[in-house]
Each structure stands twice: as structure tokens, then as C-alpha cells.
Amino acid sequence: MAQSPAVSTADPKDPGAGKLRAGTVLAALGVVFGDIGTSPLYTMREAFGHAGGLVLDEPHVLGVLSLVFWSLTLIVAIKYVVLIMRADNKGEGGVLALAALALGSGGARGDARKFVVLTLAMIGVGLFYGDAIITPAISVLSAVEGLQTLDARLEAYVVPIAVAILLALFMIQRQGTAMVGRLFGPIMLVWFSVLVVLGLVQIVQHPSVLRAVDPTWAIHFLHEEGLHAFVAMGAVVLCVTGAEALYADMGHFGRGAIRMSWFGAVMPALVINYFGQGALILNQPEAIVSPFYHMVPDWGLVPLILLATLATIVASQAVISGVFSLTSQAVRLGYLPRMAMRHTSEHEIGQVYIPRINWLLAVGVLALVLAFENSSGLAAAYGIAVTSAMGIDAILAGLVAIWLWRWSRLTSVLVFGSLLCLDAAYIIANSLKIPAGGWMPLLLAAVVYLMLRTWVRGRRVLATLRTAHAMSIDLFIRSVTSSSRCQRVAGTAVVLCSDLTVVPNTLLHNLKHNHVLHEQVVLLTVRTDDVPRVPLHQGVEARKLSDGFWTVVVRFGFMDRPDIPAALRVAAQAGLTVDPSRASYFLGRETLVPSTRDYLGPFEERLFISMSATATDPTAYFELPPDRVIEVGTQIEV
């Protein structure tokens, strides 16, 4: 993976840095905050009814409310919205962008530091996937379960309705985040407005719940209740699920729009609604079975169920968009095989649709709905992955603060170390859920991490094998120019390769079998920098080696669409005469077979070969004209 010499967080093209438009803020409200915005559906219910088994009196209710308020304040508002969102890689967010900043800062010198950062990044990606597969299932189920409050006989229809809703959601993903944001933004605006109204109605009847903003209620609750409070923390953390998706979605709308939406609408609405639920529980303890739906009179239940269902569809969209962004970065940075991607906006770099990931997520989410059948069962599996991912974000952000922002070690440790301690408390609390289903997202995270690690290691082994017995390019040029047996034919051959110092096997095999060489040979390599975008006129370097031989280095950002013909047109400015539509493009079609040598472990070997077979055809990936591509097959033992 190529490293850029420096990475700046003050890019004038940062989508979060300009004048904010109301439409952008509204769209951000619709895409980014769906997950965390629908947490009032189940958080208080789980904290009292299922997770903690707490007495429904004032000390306990105010203690839980205080934990909720300060978790939203410290973890989401301060840690993510104020601090970590400063660590944008030229507008892009997420754990990979955070790791790229750390690697590109100059502080990650030495193999040990790079290994730690890359390992944390890969674990973080795995944990995010583990969280992403649960969020749509629990969100939609929790909303549709409102039908049971309306009539217990409707319970049999909950799962079929949830499956139909989720299937429809995954089917519209190809339309792109911009369309979804325009559609869902107004819905979420109504949703947060309703949260405020419902909460205020209850708070007026029991205004003493406002005392929960005093953190001493949370401290007293934790001190007095011990294990019960610890168990309740495993449910309270549900109020902050979505913070990691919030950061990963930053490339869609920019940090400015996200910050304005959070402080101007989302956080006030969440706090007011949670406090309203607390007031309701104190007035009507029996409402704990579903405190959110009991906040409305009977006549308002059906409209609220419909609105909640729409809002949970948005919640699912938030995490799906985050998965697309993270997967796109992983492919560009070389953590995953090439995949077919479709950028759905000409203006926002983070808006991308990945069909393979979309349908894999769909299968996983639908399987969870059918297996667990209710949101309470899924709540037991929820939380451990997202809290662990948040802990990794805190560590990487601390490293960025020291290496890039030039904070002192003491300041970084005090700030991010304190936030990491809070994450650790929630991780430990959620570890109690592992036997009850928490193992599932951890298992998925482990599988994703294994795939990322195997792909990175396999690519390194493959690069080593390609160059082990290769001829140097200088020796090759001297031999073919002095040989009378090598016939030169008209035209330009563009040979894609990974190392410009040695002759690609593709070129050698073509010369060996056909005994001809084009009048102009261009050895071209593509490198991905740790920045989202590289302007094409700055990312192309062409150098003439000798008569008829050129090397071209093309640098793309990890959110760029690799377009080789466009890069060749830019290379013409350096004197390279080539018509991309008439050139011949030579690609290596490598068949990987198991080796008797210990390059990779037996399982890693088979996994890497299987993953390689799924990689998207480089012709389409690099925007090459299909009728000008020549593939030369080779067999490599890994």
C-alpha cells in the first residue's frame, strides 16, 4: 500500500468545510442518524425490563437516565462529533481513514508501529461489519413489534413484515445515497420532532427527571447497584450505537452538516425523549414493557408505529451506507479483492453502491431476523462489536493526535485515554452478553479480520514470487535492442505491472511465444495513496527509459475510480505519444495453485486462492477498452 508523504486535515475541498446547504443537512439527517436516532425504541426497555431487572423507583430511573445522558455527551458529542471527526482524511471518515491518517502522518515509523496500526484497522473493519449485520435486523423488528402493543394477535405478522421491509430496503440501494437521503431526510425530521413532543409531554408531568443531568446520579447508581448496574450498562450502551456509522458516513455529507444536525436536532431530541420515557416509567411502572409506545394515547399508536417503521428503515440505511464506504476504502487500499462498484454521485466522493456487499448483507440480516424473531433476543447480541470498534477508534485517534496534530503525549493520553476507559467499561459490561448471542458479531468480525489479513499477506507473497527470478528492465532493454531475432511491430503496448524495476511476466511470455515487440512499450503501474482523491494531472508520472520504452506511474486516491485511458491522455503532457483507444493493453491472468512451500498456512493458502478468484475483472475495474485487451495466462504456486 503506497503511503503519501503527508496528509492534511485542512483540505479546502473538504465537504465539511464550506458553506452548508439546508438540503445537505437534511439529507445527512436522513442517512447518518437513523441508527442512533431509533435507539429510544428499545434502550430503556432493555435497561430495566430485560438486562438489569432494576426496581422502578426514582434513584434507579434517574441513575439510568444520567448514564444515558452522559454516554451521549461523552461518547457521541465529545469523542466523535467534536474530536474524532477532526480526523477526516480529506473529507473521508471511518476506521480505515483514521488508520491512513496515522500511517501517513510520519509517526508510524518502523514495521512494529505500522503492524499495530494495520492490525487495529483490520480488527476495526471486522467489528464494524459485525455491528452492521445486526443493526437493520434489530431496528426494523423493534419498530414492527409495536403491532403487538396494538393487538397481541398481530405477533405472528411481525417477522414476515420485517423481512419484507428489509428486502425492499436492500433492493433500492442501487439508487444511491443521495436519493435515499432526499427521501429519508424529511422522514427523520418528522421523527425527531415527534421524539421531542412525546418527551416534553411526559417531562411536564414529572419534571424532576431533569435532575438526571447531574452525573452524581449515575455515579451513585453504579456504586450502589454493583452487578445490576453493570448489567444495565450493557443495555444503556444501546443509546450510542450508531456513533461509528456516523463517523464512517462522514464522506457522504461532510463533518459540518453532521455536526449541525447532531447539535441542532438529534441530541436534543434524544435527550428529551429518554427523559420523557423516564418520567413515564416513574408515573406508570407497568409501561416498562414498551415505554416508547406507551408514551402515546391509543389513537396515536398506529401512526407512531408507521413512523417508527420508516425511521428504522433509515437506521438500517445509515449502517449500510457506512459499510459501502468502508468496503470501498478497503478495496482501494488493498485490504480486499477488487469488486464492482458504482459511484452514485458526481459531487460526493463517499457515495458508492457495491452490489456484492449489498446482497451479502441482505442475506445475513434476513437470516438473523428469521433466527431470533424478536428484538430482545437480538439485543443480547448487540453492543459488544460496536463498543469494541469504538475502543479501537479511541486508540487510533490518540495516535493521530500525537503524530499528526502534534498533541503532547500527556494531553492525548488524558483525553483519549479517559474516553478509552469509558469504552472499556462498556466492553466489559457487554462481554456478559457473549454466551447469550454476543458471540455472533464477534465471530463475524473474526471472519472478516481473517479475510483482510489473508488478503494482505497473500498479496505480499505474490509480489515477492513475481519478482523472485525476474529480469531487470535495463538488461531486458539492452538485450532486445541488440537482438536481431526480436521483430518490432507498429503500435503501443501498455503492460500493467506492479514493479517497474523488473520485466513483467506478461511481456516476457508474449515475446517468448510471438517473437515480436511493439514499437512503443509502456510499463504502467497503479498505486493507491492514503488520501481519498488525487487530481489526475498530479497523479501521473511518465518517464522515457530509451527509444520506444516508457514507464508510467499512476496514483489514485482510495475513493477515486481508476481510469487508465484517462491517465494515459494526461501522460501525453510528458511527451508520451499514445492514443488510449488504439493501444494494446497486456494483462496477466494468473492461476494460483497450492504450493509445497510454507509461504502461507494451508488454510490461508486456500482462502487466498478463493478470494483471488472472486476479484473483479481488471478490464472493467481499470476502465480499459475490452476490444484492446490481451490477457496472458501464467500459473503461480502460493
Most confidently predicted of 137-141, 453-457, 485-489, 514-518: 453-457
pLDDT value of residue 638: 61
Instruction: Point out the domain boundary residue: 424, 457, 490.
Output: 457
**Are 386 and 505 in the same domain?**
no
Degrees (nearest 5) of the Cα angle 269, 273, 276? 145
Choice between 265 and 103, residue whose per-residue pLDDT is larger:
265
Same domain membership, residue 549 and residue 406: no
Better-predicted residue by pLDDT, 237 or 72? 72
Which residue, of 433, 457, 481, is where some domain finishes?
457
pLDDT above 70 covers what percent of the chain? 88
| Residue 182 domain flag | yes
- The verdict on 535 and 453 lying in the same domain is no
Q: Which of 7-11, 145-149, 308-312 has the lowest mean pLDDT?
A: 7-11
Are 93 and 19 in contact, with CB atoms under 8 Å apart? no
Residue 606, SS3 per DSSP: helix
User: Do residues 28 and 175 share a domain?
Assistant: yes
Residue 152 lies in a domain: yes
The DSSP output letter for 215 is T
**What is the total count of domains within the chain?**
2
Q: Is residue 482 part of a domain?
A: yes
What is the maximum span of the chain, computed from C-alpha positions, in angstroms?
A: 97
Question: What are the tens digits of pLDDT across the range 494-526?
Answer: 999 888 888 888 888 888 887 788 889 999 999
Contact call for residues 337 and 590 (beta carbons, < 8 A) = no
Q: Using only C-alpha atoms, what is the Rg of the chain?
A: 27
* Cβ–Cβ < 8 Å for 258, 16: yes
Q: Do 325 and 242 fall into the same domain? A: yes
Predicted local confidence at residue 106, as pLDDT:
66
Higher pLDDT: 637 or 160? It is 160
The reply to whether 86 and 225 lie within a common domain is yes
477 and 605 within one domain:
yes
Helix/strand/coil (H/E/C) assignment for every residue in 368-415 = HHHHHCCHHHHHHHCCHHHHHHHHHHHHHHHHHHHHCCCCCHHHHHHH
Task: Name the β-bridge partners of 516.
Answer: 487
Residues 133 and 214 grouped into a single domain: yes
pLDDT of residue 108 exceeding 70, the answer is no
Domain match, 531 and 409 both:
no
- Residue 229: which of 78, 376, 428, 384 has the closest Cα? 428
Residue-averaged pLDDT of the chain: 82
pLDDT of 602 > 90? The answer is no
CA torsion sign for 260, 257, 37, 444 is: negative
Angle 364-365-370 from CA coordinates, rounded to 5°: 100
pLDDT at residue number 14: 43
Residue pair 558/100 in contact by the 8 Å Cβ criterion: yes
**Does residue 436 fall inside a structural domain?**
yes
Q: Please tell me the predicted confidence (pLDDT) of residue 335.
A: 87
> What average pLDDT does this structure show over 4-22?
42
Which CATH number characterizes residue 265's domain? 1.20.1740.10
pLDDT for 32 beyond 50: yes
Domain assignment present for residue 14? The answer is no
DSSP annotation of 452 reads H
Q: Are residues 528 and 485 in the same domain?
A: yes
Q: pLDDT digit string (tens) for 389-408?
A: 899 999 999 999 998 888 99
Residues 76-89 pLDDT 10s: 999 999 999 888 77
Between 376 and 635, the more confident residue is 376
Alpha-carbon distance of 429 to 418, in angstroms, equals 17
Instruction: Supply the pLDDT for residue 282.
Output: 92
> 150 and 252 in one domain?
yes
pLDDT bracket for residue 591 (50, 70, 90): confident
220 confidence band (pLDDT: 50, 70, 90): very high
* CA 90 to each of CA 7, 99, 133, 149, 595: distance values in angstroms, whole numbers, following the listed order: 8, 13, 28, 47, 42
User: Who wins on pLDDT, 279 or 19?
Assistant: 279
Most confident among 326-340, 385-399, 477-491 (mean pLDDT): 385-399
Residues 538 and 398 in one domain: no
Report yes or no on 100 lying in a domain.
yes
Residue corresponding to grid cell 420515557: 277
Determine the structural domain holding residue 71 and report its residue range: 22-457
Residue 493 lies in a domain: yes
For residue 352, tell me if it sits in a domain.
yes
Three-state DSSP state, 488: strand
C-alpha cell of residue 342: 458504482
Which of these three, 410, 430, 457, is where a domain ends?
457
